């Protein structure tokens, strides 16, 4: 089973715009949180895939996304030292206190492991993710964390999903992708030969073990 990270297994403690606005204010720039929220969504949606190389390149990629977010939100605002603001944001999102485990996440993973499922967190996040999962008490509950730096590619490339399945020692047809993004988590997984479950259709992640059992029952009817 392949689970997406952000929006599926973990979520932000507060909206992106709220965090960006607060940290920007600490560096002398005032932009409303709602404008930063909108700008971040636009910029991230249009950004090229994160290069699957090394941590320095990942950081440079994020630097570009964050700078573009502030420029898109308000081109008239100028930081005295943008790099210091970016460093504060990058550090913030590397810490577990910026994140929360999704409702029911721990119980769901425990139940799935008891049922003998192989579990993988398959995400387009960067190398900060394993430490975040560890500090949220999630890492020990999964068998594999699969990132673009491991796969050499990223979602929605079907090769990303097939690579994770191969590392788990399973055929794609034996795996399920669970996520919240229709294109990257669901359609791309199906294109790779996996089944897919939209986590947004669940009241909480705690329902996932029952949903998996129901899916298997339907397949064997």
* Each residue's pLDDT expressed in tens, for the chain with a length of 221 residues: 999 999 999 999 999 999 999 999 999 999 999 999 999 999 999 998 888 778 899 999 999 999 999 999 999 999 999 999 999 999 999 999 999 999 999 999 999 999 999 999 999 999 999 999 999 999 999 999 999 999 999 999 999 999 999 999 999 999 999 999 999 999 999 999 999 999 999 999 999 999 998 877 666 55
Q: What is the pTM of this model?
A: 0.91
One domain, residues 83 and 113: no
One domain, residues 120 and 204: yes
One domain, residues 72 and 172: no
Output the pLDDT for position 217: 63
Q: Which of 97, 129, 144 is the last residue of a domain?
A: 97
One domain, residues 69 and 107: no
Output the pLDDT for position 54: 84
One domain, residues 51 and 87: yes
Q: Which of 36, 66, 97 is the last residue of a domain?
A: 97
One domain, residues 25 and 120: no
Task: Give the single-character DSSP code of 31.
Answer: -
Q: Which of 97, 120, 137 is the last residue of a domain?
A: 97
One domain, residues 132 and 190: yes
Output the pLDDT for position 213: 84
| Ramachandran class of 28: left when φ > 0, alpha when ψ lies in -120 to 50, beta otherwise | left
One domain, residues 114 and 203: yes
Q: Which position has the token pair 């059992």?
A: 213
User: CB–CB of 193/173 below 8 Å?
Assistant: yes
Distance CA(116)–CA(103), nearest Å, equals 22
One domain, residues 56 and 111: no
Domain span at residue 6? 2-11+99-219
For residue 66, the domain's CATH number is: 1.10.150.720
For residue 163, the domain's CATH number is: 3.40.50.1000
Distance CA(92)–CA(87), nearest Å, equals 8
One domain, residues 115 and 197: yes
Task: State the total domains in the chain.
Answer: 2
Output the pLDDT for position 50: 85
CB neighbour list of residue 72: distance below 8 Å, 6 or more residues apart = 39, 42, 43
């Amino acid at each position: 089973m392949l689970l997406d990270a952000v929006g599926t297994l973990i979520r932000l403690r507060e909206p992106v715009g709220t965090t960006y606005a607060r940290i920007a204010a600490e560096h002398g720039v005032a932009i409303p949180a709602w404008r930063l929220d909108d700008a971040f969504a636009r910029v991230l949606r249009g950004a090229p895939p994160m290069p699957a190389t090394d941590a320095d390149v990942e950081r440079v990629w994020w630097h570009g996304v964050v700078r573009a977010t502030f420029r898109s939100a308000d081109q008239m605002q100028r930081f005295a030292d943008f790099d210091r603001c970016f460093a504060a944001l990058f550090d913030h999102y590397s810490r577990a206190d910026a994140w929360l485990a999704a409702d029911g996440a721990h119980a769901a993973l425990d139940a799935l492991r008891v049922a003998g499922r192989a579990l993988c967190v398959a995400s387009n996040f960067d190398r900060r993710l394993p430490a975040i999962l560890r500090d949220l008490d999630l890492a020990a509950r999964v068998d594999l964390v699969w990132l673009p730096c491991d796969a050499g590619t990223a979602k929605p490339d079907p090769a990303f999903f097939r690579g994770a399945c191969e590392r788990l020692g399973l055929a794609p047809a034996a795996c399920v992708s669970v996520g919240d993004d229709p294109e990257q988590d669901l359609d791309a997984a199906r294109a790779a030969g996996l089944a897919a479950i939209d986590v947004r259709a669940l009241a909480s992640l705690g329902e996932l073990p029952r949903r998996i059992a129901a899916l298997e029952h339907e397949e064997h009817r």
